[in-house]
Amino acid sequence: MEVCEIKPVNDNEVTHLKPLMCELNILSRSDGSAILTQGQTAVMVSIYGPVEVKMQNLHIHKASVEVHYIPKSGFSGIADRLKEKIIQTTIETAIMSTLYPRSAVVINVLEMQDCGGLLSCAINATCLALLNSGIQMKFLVASVFCIINDNDEIIIDPDKKQISNNYKASFMFVFDSKDKKLITSSTTGTFSEMQYLQCTQQCRDVSLSIFKYYRDIVKKTALTL
């Protein structure tokens, strides 16, 4: 398994990405699957599709994307529904859904461990599982999570301890592999426009290492076939 890390560029900003480890095709009955860990945060994703779509979700000219988020324990709540919606809209943007009309792409996201950056890890794991499934995509996606702490420092991919301390704002960004454009964002807290732009640019820079990791994983998998 490949490990990808970026060293901090100065003492005032923590800009490293926690180590990434991934395994593809771990579930034999799915069309694609992946388990991804970012640091100690871990998510497993399975893809089924194109499959028969439920009538209420039918689209004549494109595939329907269905996301089911399964928390580590307990029942799904409002926060889990929000995760599903964010993942769904992100993947709808990325896949070539018009190639699969009147069908569905079903994505099951299983939370295994949350030690910070869970939603970003889930989106990245979903992208890897889609790659494994062979579903055609317009571009890949990479998600990066960051916070601004009480000292106005930007911390990229914070761990659970850093998140448990007081912080002013949090940001989850998703970028495309083609033009590195921002396609999805989710924020909490208070921040200035300048801080938002700084966080966006730093997370965009870090996303390059995730795209490189995708390429390395695909090459490694191809060599083992």
The reply to whether 1 falls in a domain is no
pLDDT band of residue 86 (cuts 50, 70, 90) is: very high
Q: Domain of 132: which CATH number?
A: 3.30.230.70
The reply to whether 15 falls in a domain is no
The reply to whether 2 falls in a domain is no
User: What integer is the mean pLDDT of 62-81?
Assistant: 93
Whose CA is closest to 163, among 120, 218, 132? 120
pLDDT band of residue 225 (cuts 50, 70, 90) is: low
The reply to whether 6 falls in a domain is no
The first and second tokens of residue 157, run together, are 């991919």
Q: Tell me which residue range forms the domain holding 44.
A: 20-224
144/182 Cα distance (integer angstroms): 11
63/53 Cα distance (integer angstroms): 8
Count, in order, helices (H) and strands (E) of the chain: 4, 9
DSSP string, 75-89: ---HHHHHHHHHHHH
Residue pair 80/126 in contact (Cβ under 8 Å)? The answer is no
The reply to whether 10 falls in a domain is no
The first and second tokens of residue 5, run together, are 């890390």
The reply to whether 9 falls in a domain is no
Structure pTM?
A: 0.90
Q: Does residue 13 carry a pLDDT above 80?
A: no
163/110 Cα distance (integer angstroms): 22
The reply to whether 84 falls in a domain is yes
* Structural domain total, the chain: 1
What local confidence, expressed as pLDDT, does residue 60 receive?
86
The Cα angle at residue 161 between residues 156 and 164, in degrees rounded to 5? 95
pLDDT band of residue 75 (cuts 50, 70, 90) is: confident
pLDDT digits (tens, 9 = 90+) for 131-185: 999 999 999 999 999 999 999 999 999 988 888 888 999 999 999 999 999 999 9
Whose CA is closest to 118, among 87, 151, 152, 77? 87
The reply to whether 14 falls in a domain is no
